[in-house]
């Protein structure tokens, strides 16, 4: 689709009432003017070849400037057509087969050195909405280069169905990885490898008191202790457990949220395994309400050691910060009353819901960004959306494709943030 940079010529749009033919690298032509000529943030993917020398954010600004100068609504149509073609050819959708066992061994060692591997599980096929859980889990596994078993073999980028218990599957995975390491290790005195899982992602149904994550669609409720016992032998001392499931962080009528119960049980087991002198700090993320498995923004993080965690609520924390910023930007000199402050914070939380609203497509930039919030953390999410500084996601160890989609999702959220902040500030000033 692109041409070498040496062959690219500067593009200088001319002021004219008629649409200007634009060179696409495959000839040129004029598209009919669509009803809506606006350019969306992710429309800049796969645009004209000369734009590919710029970063994503610069592409968006350039596209918008072209429309302003040309009055050319065909720009949007052409971009959309090229973007769709690019997504079809570049979108990663399947696990990477093992063509080189030494290469896989090297990746395992690299992951372990970084703190552990990533594994992903999805609901049993007879479970309601199982296909959607599988789609989202499969995309997560590819994006994170998760280690799993597919077709009886260890593969990179494979999510695993919960046909049997997670503990049993992890034991099988451990045995296969240990054999792989033994066969391909360069050291003659290689020690048996202990699997260390840094991130455990589970895509399934949930409630405030349970998770549908036992074998063949069974629920984990009263059996939580036994379930945690079967999983923790493979976890790092500070793992991240992602429950992409409804309501697991919601507070039940009696007792604590399921996600916090998981965290407390995991802490006990890890302290016994690693010793109480070890830094034990697991994170368990869950949703407070029913919603889409990955696009639901009602997220809470439970973290810490043996001390009970009330949980850090994404919308509550960012909503409060948005309220503070709105007051600052409004120029108001008189302090708000308690009633006014409470009202403002409620409005700000609703505003954050609108800002972070995500589509449910597995490769949609907004969905990918919300899915990755547990990896980013609440503080970083706030920093991302509340300023215009360039963002770099290379530290997340995601594929280049996913990093690009994260930037596109962030651009959308920033645009919404600017509008919502202006509305709140204006309300306060009046």
Sequence-distant (≥ 6) Cβ neighbours of residue 422 within 8 angstroms: none
Q: Is the pLDDT of residue 147 over 80?
A: yes
* Residue 200: its H or E element: strand 197-203
Q: d(Cα 342, Cα 348) in Å, to the nearest integer? A: 10
- Would you call 354 helix, strand, or coil by DSSP? helix
Looking at the chain, the whole-number percentage of residues with pLDDT higher than 70 is 73
Q: d(Cα 194, Cα 240) in Å, to the nearest integer? A: 18
Quickly count: other Cβ atoms within 10 Å of residue 310's Cβ: 12
Is residue 212 within 8 A of residue 126, CB to CB? The reply is no
Average per-residue pLDDT in the chain?
Answer: 81
Task: Give the mean model confidence (pLDDT) for residues 77-97.
Answer: 49
209: left (phi over 0), alpha (psi -120 to 50) or beta: alpha
pLDDT at site 89: 38
The model's confidence at residue 34, banded by pLDDT at 50, 70 and 90, is very low
- Which region among 112-116, 191-195, 329-333, 393-397 has the lowest average model confidence (pLDDT)? 191-195
Cα separations (Å) of 373 from 52, 141, 314, 368, 410? Answer: 28, 16, 9, 9, 11
Give strand pairing partners of 161.
Answer: 122
Q: Is the pLDDT of residue 15 over 80?
A: no
The model's confidence at residue 37, banded by pLDDT at 50, 70 and 90, is very low
| Alpha-carbon dihedral sign for residues 93, 133, 282, 194 | negative
The model's confidence at residue 57, banded by pLDDT at 50, 70 and 90, is low
Sheet with 312-313: list strands edge to edge: 160-161, 117-122, 197-203, 235-244, 283-287, 299-303, 312-313
- Which region among 5-14, 62-71, 359-368, 380-389 has the lowest average model confidence (pLDDT)? 5-14
The model's confidence at residue 324, banded by pLDDT at 50, 70 and 90, is very high
Q: d(Cα 372, Cα 63) in Å, to the nearest integer? A: 27
Q: d(Cα 404, Cα 86) in Å, to the nearest integer? A: 13
pLDDT at site 58: 59
Strand 153-156, strand 283-287: pairing? unpaired
| Alpha-carbon dihedral sign for residues 412, 414, 417, 421 | negative
Task: Give the mean model confidence (pLDDT) for residues 391-399.
Answer: 90
Q: Is the pLDDT of residue 2 over 70?
A: no
Give strand pairing partners of 202.
Answer: 121, 243
pTM for the full model? 0.78
* Residue 180: its H or E element: helix 166-184
Is residue 368 within 8 A of residue 406, CB to CB? The reply is yes
Closest CA relative to residue 284, chosen from 267, 299, 297, 302: 302
pLDDT at site 193: 56
pLDDT at site 364: 96
Q: Is the pLDDT of residue 426 over 50?
A: yes
Q: Is the pLDDT of residue 190 over 80?
A: no
- Which region among 95-104, 126-135, 219-228, 370-379 has the lowest average model confidence (pLDDT)? 95-104
pLDDT at site 231: 96
Q: d(Cα 214, Cα 224) in Å, to the nearest integer? A: 10
Q: d(Cα 395, Cα 168) in Å, to the nearest integer? A: 32
The model's confidence at residue 16, banded by pLDDT at 50, 70 and 90, is very low
pLDDT at site 325: 96
pLDDT at site 53: 44
pLDDT at site 305: 74
pLDDT at site 93: 57
- Which region among 264-268, 276-280, 347-351 has the lowest average model confidence (pLDDT)? 276-280
Q: Is the pLDDT of residue 367 over 50?
A: yes
Q: d(Cα 164, Cα 124) in Å, to the nearest integer? A: 9
């Amino acid at each position: 689709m692109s041409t070498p940079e040496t062959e690219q010529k500067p593009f200088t749009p001319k002021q004219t009432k008629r649409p200007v033919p634009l060179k696409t690298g495959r000839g040129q032509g004029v598209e009919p003017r669509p009803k809506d000529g606006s350019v969306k943030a992710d429309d800049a993917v796969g645009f004209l070849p000369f734009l590919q020398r710029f970063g994503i954010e610069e592409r968006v600004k350039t596209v918008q400037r072209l429309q302003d100068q040309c009055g050319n609504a065909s720009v949007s149509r052409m971009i959309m057509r090229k973007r769709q073609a690019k997504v079809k050819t570049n979108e990663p959708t399947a696990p990477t087969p093992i063509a080189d066992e030494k290469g896989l061994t090297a990746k395992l060692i690299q992951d372990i050195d970084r703190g552990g591997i990533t594994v992903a599980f999805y609901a049993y096929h007879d479970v309601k909405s199982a296909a959607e859980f599988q789609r989202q889990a499969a995309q997560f596994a590819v994006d994170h280069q998760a280690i799993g078993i597919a077709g009886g073999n260890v593969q990179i980028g494979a999510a695993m169905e919960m046909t049997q218990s997670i503990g049993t599957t992890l034991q099988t995975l451990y045995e296969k990885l240990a054999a792989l390491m033994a066969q391909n290790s360069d050291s003659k005195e290689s020690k048996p490898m202990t699997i260390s899982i840094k991130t455990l992602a589970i895509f399934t149904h949930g409630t405030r008191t349970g998770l549908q994550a036992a074998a063949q669609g069974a629920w984990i409720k009263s059996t939580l202790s036994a379930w945690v016992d079967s999983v923790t032998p493979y976890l790092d001392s500070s793992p991240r457990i992602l429950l992409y499931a409804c309501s697991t962080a919601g507070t039940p009528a009696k007792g604590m949220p399921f996600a916090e119960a998981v965290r407390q049980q995991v802490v006990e087991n890890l302290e016994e395994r690693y010793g109480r002198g070890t830094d034990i700090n697991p994170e368990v993320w869950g949703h407070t309400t029913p919603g889409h498995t990955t696009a639901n923004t009602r997220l809470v993080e439970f973290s810490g050691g043996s001390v009970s965690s009330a949980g850090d609520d994404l919308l509550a924390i960012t909503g409060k910060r948005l309220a503070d910023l709105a007051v600052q930007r409004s120029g108001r000199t008189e302090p708000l009353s308690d009633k006014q402050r409470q009202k403002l914070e409620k409005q700000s939380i609703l505003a954050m819901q609108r800002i972070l609203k995500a589509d449910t497509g597995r490769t949609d930039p907004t969905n990918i960004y919300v899915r990755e919030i547990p990896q980013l953390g609440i503080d970083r999410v706030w920093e991302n959306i509340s300023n215009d500084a360039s963002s770099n996601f290379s530290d997340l160890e995601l594929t280049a494709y996913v990093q690009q989609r994260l930037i596109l999702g962030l651009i959308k959220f920033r645009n919404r943030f600017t509008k919502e902040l202006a509305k709140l500030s204006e309300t306060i000033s009046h």
